[in-house]
Structure formats: structure tokens, C-alpha cells
Amino acid sequence: MNMLMHPMSDLAVFVRTVDLGSFAAVGAEIELTASGVSRIVTRLERRIGAKLLHRTTRRLVLTQEGETFLVHARSILAAVEAAEADVASVHGRPRGHLFARHRLARLLPQFMDQFPEIAVDLSVSDHRIDPIADQVDVTIRVGPLGDSDLIAARLGEVRRIIAGSPRYLERHGIPEQAADLMRHNCLQLSGFSRLAQWPMFEQGKRIMVPVKGSIRSDSADFLLDLALAGAGLARFGDFLGEAAVKDGRLVPVLSHCHDPDPQPITALILPGRQSIPRVRAFVDFLKASI
């Protein structure tokens, strides 16, 4: 099926039209004419049997039905994005392995120094495991949690940053606003089309800025190395570039208008084991360190 004829695409076009305020602006994003975008919204209205937008020569205004439908449309698209993220995590997207390598691996020696009598058996996986079935004392999860009988202890959060090397910024300038990203070489994670848009805030509204760059990769580590070498701007979890930012090899940009998309870091503990000394010591250490 042609994706432009797919109902899910119609929802996305409708939501973007509301967010950007014009058919022309959406058309520029998806390489369609303003009339082509208008026809997509009209097709959606016909399918659901209600008018969603009042069209005037100056602006578009949501109808009452449109306001109701917008809430559902956003929820549906968010669910699709969450499903993509879950599938992506199974196929090596930057989650568990990266967090373990760049944060846990640096912390564990400190823990072992403090508690040399505790032996740690660590399993690193991007697959969702069942801590109860596998009898895992503590599971560290990055991202939203589903319903669970496990005891959850909040450890911190992961936030995304946009950064470039001093050398790159000296040569190409420091972006001051969201639109400036379109004239920069933005290093992108490959895998999903949505990763070619970076979330920003403009006049209080969250927008998605289409970015372009000369290099795409399915490895966040590789993109970090490229950013350090001065190849362009990269967007990644703060723990990934933590050391490079601290010592000045990378410089965060657009912090005032970038959506860092914070995600929780949580320790999940088997019921009844939260009082076991080794478990309590490990979780307390992580709370103080992450």
C-alpha cells in the first residue's frame, strides 16, 4: 500500500498541520504541495464523517470535533512510536548496552571497592527480561515502565543533548535557534524515519525539525566518535557523551530550545528482597551515583 494512502499517515499529517499551522509548512516537510496536504486532511475528514479544521485565508482553526480527534490521534501516534522504540531496543538501538558500557562499567569498580565481599553477576541485554521468572535481584531499566509487581526505585534519568566539537563549531558556527540546524551537518542514527527529525521548542510549541547530514549510522558510539572528530552535530543520551562534555571535547548547543526527552532510570527489585543487605547496598549505591 502506498504510505501516503495509509490511514496512519493521514493521522500524522493532520497532527503536523495542527502543530505547524498551515498546509504549506507540512508540505515542505513531506515534499508535497499545500493542496496535496489539504487533500489528505479532507480524505481523513471524509473517512471519519466530521469536519476537523475550519479553513480561512489566514489560518486553520480546529473544530470541536477536531479538538476531540486530535487527542486520540496524538495518543495513537505516540503508541506507534513507543512500539517502534520497543522493537528498536530488540535490534540494538542505544539502550541497555550503551547505558551499561558508558555508565555502569565506570561505577562498578567503585562499588566493588566499597563492598569487596559482594560478588556481582551482571547480565546486559536490550531484550526485556522477566526478573521474577529469572530470579534477578535487581533489574535496571531505562525508559518508561509497564505495570509490574516489582518494587521500583527511581535512580535518575537520561536526557538527550545536541553537541559538537569546538573545532566543528568554530568552522561552522554555533546554532542559536532550531531553524539553524537545517544548515548544519547533523549526524543521524539510522533505522526509522522519525530519527531524521529532532524535537525542539519554538514559541512554547514542540516542533520536529527535519535535519540532514552526510553520515548516518546504526551505532550511537560511532556517531559520538564522529562528533568528537569534528564531523558534525550529534544528538545522544547525556551519559554517552558525559566525559567528553565534562572535559570540553564536546560542547552542548541549543540547550534553551531542545527537547531533551527525559527518560527514567529505574531499579526494579523482586518483592521481599529489598531488605537483603547486598540488594539494599547496591540500590543505595546506584541512587547516590547515577
Torsion, Cα of 195, 200, 202, 206 (10° steps): 70
Q: What is the pLDDT of residue 82?
A: 57
206 and 199 in contact (C-beta within 8 Å)?
yes
| CA–CA distance, 244 with 181 (Å, rounded to integer) | 21
| Residue 198 C-alpha from the chain's centroid | 9
List of residues 6+ apart from 12 with CB closer than 8 A: 77
Q: What is the pLDDT of residue 203?
A: 87
Q: What is the pLDDT of residue 85?
A: 52
User: Rounded to the nearest 5°, which phi and psi values hold at 2?
Assistant: -60, 125
Task: Fill in the DSSP letter of residue 260.
Answer: -
Which element (helix H / strand E) includes 210? strand 205-210
User: Tens digit of pLDDT per residue, the chain (290 long)?
Assistant: 333 444 568 888 998 898 888 998 888 877 889 999 999 999 999 999 999 999 887 789 999 999 999 888 887 876 766 565 555 444 434 456 677 778 888 899 999 999 999 988 887 766 666 777 777 889 888 877 766 778 899 999 999 999 999 999 999 999 999 999 999 999 998 866 667 889 999 888 999 998 999 998 888 889 999 999 999 999 999 988 889 999 999 999 999 999 999 989 999 998 888 888 899 999 999 999 88
| CA–CA distance, 64 with 254 (Å, rounded to integer) | 36
Torsion, Cα of 40, 44, 49, 52 (10° steps): -80
- Among 196, 177, 201, 194, which Cα is nearest to 186's? 196
| CA–CA distance, 252 with 164 (Å, rounded to integer) | 7
At residue 198's C-alpha, the angle toward residues 177 and 23, to 5°, is 85
Q: What is the pLDDT of residue 193?
A: 64
Mapping DSSP to helix (H, G, I), strand (E, B) and coil, where does residue 266 land? strand
Q: What is the pLDDT of residue 189?
A: 86
The three three-digit cell numbers of residue 289, written as one number: 551515583
- Among 81, 86, 30, 78, which Cα is nearest to 194's? 81
Q: Angle between the 105-114 and 277-289 helix axes, to the nearest 10 degrees?
A: 130
| CA–CA distance, 23 with 4 (Å, rounded to integer) | 15
Q: What is the pLDDT of residue 90?
A: 43
| CA–CA distance, 162 with 255 (Å, rounded to integer) | 8
Q: What is the pLDDT of residue 78?
A: 67
Residue 205 burial class via C-beta count within 10 angstroms: exposed 0-12, middle 13-18, buried 19 and up: exposed
At residue 226's C-alpha, the angle toward residues 225 and 232, to 5°, is 140
Q: What is the pLDDT of residue 179?
A: 92
Mapping DSSP to helix (H, G, I), strand (E, B) and coil, where does residue 223 land? helix
35 and 23 in contact (C-beta within 8 Å)?
yes
